[in-house]
Amino acid sequence: MSLRATSDRWWKGAIMYCLDVETFLDWDGDGVGDLAGLTERIDYLAGLGVSVLWLMPFHPSPDLDDGYDISDFYAVDPRLGTLGEFVEVIRAAESRGMRVIIDLVVNHTSIEHPWFQASRSSRDSPYRDWYVWVDEPPAEPMEEVFPGEQGGTWTWDATAGQWYMHRFYDFQADLNVANPAVRQEIARIMGFWLQLGVSGFRVDAVPFLLEHQGIPNLGEEAGRDPHRYLKELRAFLQRRRGDAILLGEVNLPPADQRVFFGDEDGDELHLVFQFSIMQRAYLALARGDGRVLEAAFAELPEVPFDCQWATFLRNHDELTLDQLSDKERAEVFAAFGPDEDMQVYGRGLRRRLPPMLDGDQARLRLAYSLLFSLPGTPVLFYGEEIGMGEELSAHGRSAVRTPMQWSDEPGAGFSTAPEGAFPGPLVQGTFGPAAVNVAAQRDDPDSLLNWFERLIRRRRETHELALGTYRAVVTRPKSAFAHRCDWEGSTVIAVHNLGAARVDLRLPVDDLPDAVALDDLLRGGRIDVVRKRAAVDLEPYGYRWFRVVREGQRTTP
C-alpha cells in the first residue's frame, strides 16, 4: 500500500450515517430522543460498520425548521441532553473507532437568537451589522429555497424599522458574513466543538453562506472573491485540528460544485454532496437504463486528490430532483411518487426509497450496491439500513424524519412514552414498526440489516473504491451499467443491472493484458478472463463487484 493510502484521509474510506438525536432513541422516557439514547446505540452503529456519525442540529432552537433555526450555538437543546452527555457520545464513538461530525448552520440564526434580538433593537446596537438590513428590498427578486412556504427573502421588522434578509424561512435571518465580527464568531463556534472532540462539520447551505448578494455595506469584502472566506474557514479548521473535515451542502450542477473544493490541491471543502448523481440514479432506476449514469459520470469534473464526493440516495430533506429536466422529473414522479401529496416544492419527493420500490428487496439492494460503489463516501440516513418508509401524514419534509424503528413494541422501541409525546408520528402500514424493525432483522440472516452489514464490511475493505479514479465502462444492453475504479495497480469493476430482465455481458479488460480473472467481491468465486473479456451474468436487478486478478496476484478472501 502506498504512502498516499488511507490513514490520513480517513474520510475517503468512511461510511457516514446521519441521524437526528431527537428521533433516534429516547432513553429518559419523555418521548423525545436524546444523547443518552444515542450513546446506548453506539455499539449498534459500530456493529453495522458505520465509521462516522453526522449529527443533525441538536442545539437550543424554537424548532420551527427541525433545529436548523439555532438560538444558541454553544449549547445542547435541554430536551436532548447536556454538553456533558454530548462529550460522552464523542467518547463512546471514539472508543469504537468512530468519529462524529456535526452540522454547522451559520448562514442564518433563529430570529429568537439573542444576537438577532439585539440587532433589531437599535441601529446603534453592536449587533446591528451582524445581519443584513436594508431600508428597501432590492427590486431584483432572489431565489426562494422553499417556494410557496417562505414568503419571499426579505421581511419587514417593525422593531428594527428595516427589512432583513433570509434565504430560507422568515424565522431564519441571514448572518452578515462580510462583517469580521461575525466571521470571528463562526470560527469561535467551530473551535468550541472541535475542542469538544468533533472531527468536522457538515456545512449547511454553503453557496448561500458565502454569497454577498443583498449585503448593503460590503466594506473590505467589496470586490473580493467570496471563496476567500471558505479558504479562511478551512485554514482555521486545519490549524485547530489537522485531520478535521468540512463536508459541504452545495446543491449545484457538478461543474459549479468543483469550485467549492478550492484550488488545485483542494483548500476549501474536503467533501461535497453529489446531488447530480443522486438525482440521475433515480432517473436510471425509473427508466431501467444505465446510460443515464454513464452520462452523469461524464459530467463529473475531476476533483483534487485531497477531496471527494459524498454520495447518498436519501437525506433528511426533500429528495430534490431540481437538476433534472421537467420531462425527466415527471418520469421520476410518475415512477416513484405519482400522488401530489408525495411531492413537495414542485421539485422533489417526500418519500423514502423502499416504498418507492414497493418494497422490492432485489431493486433496493441494487440501489444500495450502486450507492456504495459510486465515486465518493457513502452517507446513509438513519433507518435506511432496515428499509424504513415515510409517513405522509407528517408535514412536508418531516415525512422522512419519523422515529427510528427498533422493535415492534408500542412506541417502536424508540420510546416508552405515549406516541403523542414523540417529535413526529410513527410510520403507519406496511413499512411501519410492526413489519420493519431492527430486532426482527437482527435475527434474520437474509434481512436488509444483515445484508448492509456485509456490504459495508466489503466496501471498507475495498480501497480502490475509496481512493481510486473512476470511469464508466461502456457495456450493453442499456439496462446494464458498469464502472471501474483504479488505485495503485489494482482495479475494481462494479456491474449493475437496472432492468427487470436477466443480462449476460462480456466485460472488457483490454487495457489490462495480464488480467487472468475477476474475483467476485460480494458473492465469492471467480470468473476467468478469456481473450480480454469476462463473461458476466446478472439476474434481474442484479449487482456484482469484481476485483481484477492479474498474473501473480493473490485472490481476495
Q: Which residues bind ligand NOJ (CB under 6 A)?
A: 65, 68, 105, 168, 204-205, 249, 316-317
Closer to ligand NOJ by Cβ: residue 16 or 517: 16
Radius of gyration of the chain (CA): 24
Name residues whose C-beta falls within 8 Å of residue 542's C-beta, 6 or more positions apart in sequence: 362, 366, 496, 497, 502, 503
* Nearest distance in Å: CB 277, ligand NOJ: 18
Q: Which helix (H) or strand (E) holds 537?
A: strand 533-538
Q: How far is the CB of 100 from ligand NOJ (least distance, A)?
A: 18
- Chain centroid to Cα 124, Å, comes to 41
What amino acid occupies position 75?
Answer: A
Residue 303 has φ and ψ, to the nearest 5°, of -115, 150
| Segment (H or E) for 283 | helix 275-287
Cβ nearer to ligand NOJ, comparing 205 with 412: 205
Of 174 and 464, which CB lies nearer to ligand NOJ in the complex structure? 174
Give the CA distances from residue 484 to residues 257, 267, 421, 512, in Å, rounded to whole numbers and listed in that order: 23, 27, 49, 12
* Closest residue to ligand NOJ: CB criterion: 68
Minimum Å distance from CB 379 to ligand NOJ?
12
Smallest distance, ligand NOJ to C-beta of residue 1, A: 36
> CB of 145: closest distance to ligand NOJ in angstroms?
7
The alpha carbon of 218 is separated from its chain's Cα centroid by a whole number of angstroms, namely 33
- Cα gap 467→12, rounded to integer Å: 7
Q: How far is the CB of 252 from ligand NOJ (least distance, A)?
A: 14
Nearer to ligand NOJ, 54 or 422 (CB): 54
* Separation of alpha carbons 484 and 302, rounded Å: 15
Identified catalytic residue from 204, 268, 385, 390: 204
Exactly one of 103, 249, 294, 385 is catalytic; name it: 249
Q: Dihedrals φ, ψ of 57, to 5°?
A: -55, 135
Considering beta carbons, is residue 311 or 491 the nearer one to ligand NOJ?
A: 311
For residue 462, CA distances in Å to 9, 21, 126, 143 come to 15, 31, 53, 42
Cis before 477 (ω within 30): yes
Is 146 or 236 the residue whose CB approaches ligand NOJ more closely?
146
Residue 45 or 105: which CB sits closer to ligand NOJ?
105
140 among known catalytic residues: no
Name residues whose C-beta falls within 8 Å of residue 544's C-beta, 6 or more positions apart in sequence.
494, 495, 520, 522, 523, 536, 538
Active site residue 385: no
- Structural element, H or E, at residue 371: helix 361-373
Distances from the Cα of 4 to the Cαs of 247, 459, 463, 544, in angstroms? 21, 19, 12, 27
Count CA atoms closer than 13 A to 477's CA, side-chain side. Answer: 14
Residues 263, 268: Cα–Cα separation, whole Å: 8
Nearest to 470 by CA among 375, 539, 332: 375
- The residue type of 278 is M
> Is residue 509 within 8 Å of 521, Cβ to Cβ?
no
Are 23 and 80 contacting, i.e. CB atoms less than 8 angstroms apart? no
Give the Cα separation of 538 and 495 in Å (integer): 8
DSSP 131: B
Nearer to ligand NOJ, 246 or 480 (CB): 246
Give the nearest distance from C-beta 488 to ligand NOJ in angstroms: 36
Between 22 and 317, CB nearer to ligand NOJ: 317
User: CB of residue 52 vs ligand NOJ: minimum separation in angstroms?
Assistant: 17
Cβ at position 492, least distance to ligand NOJ in Å: 32
Using CA atoms, how far apart are residues 291 and 475, in angstroms rounded to an integer? 9
Active site residues: 204, 249
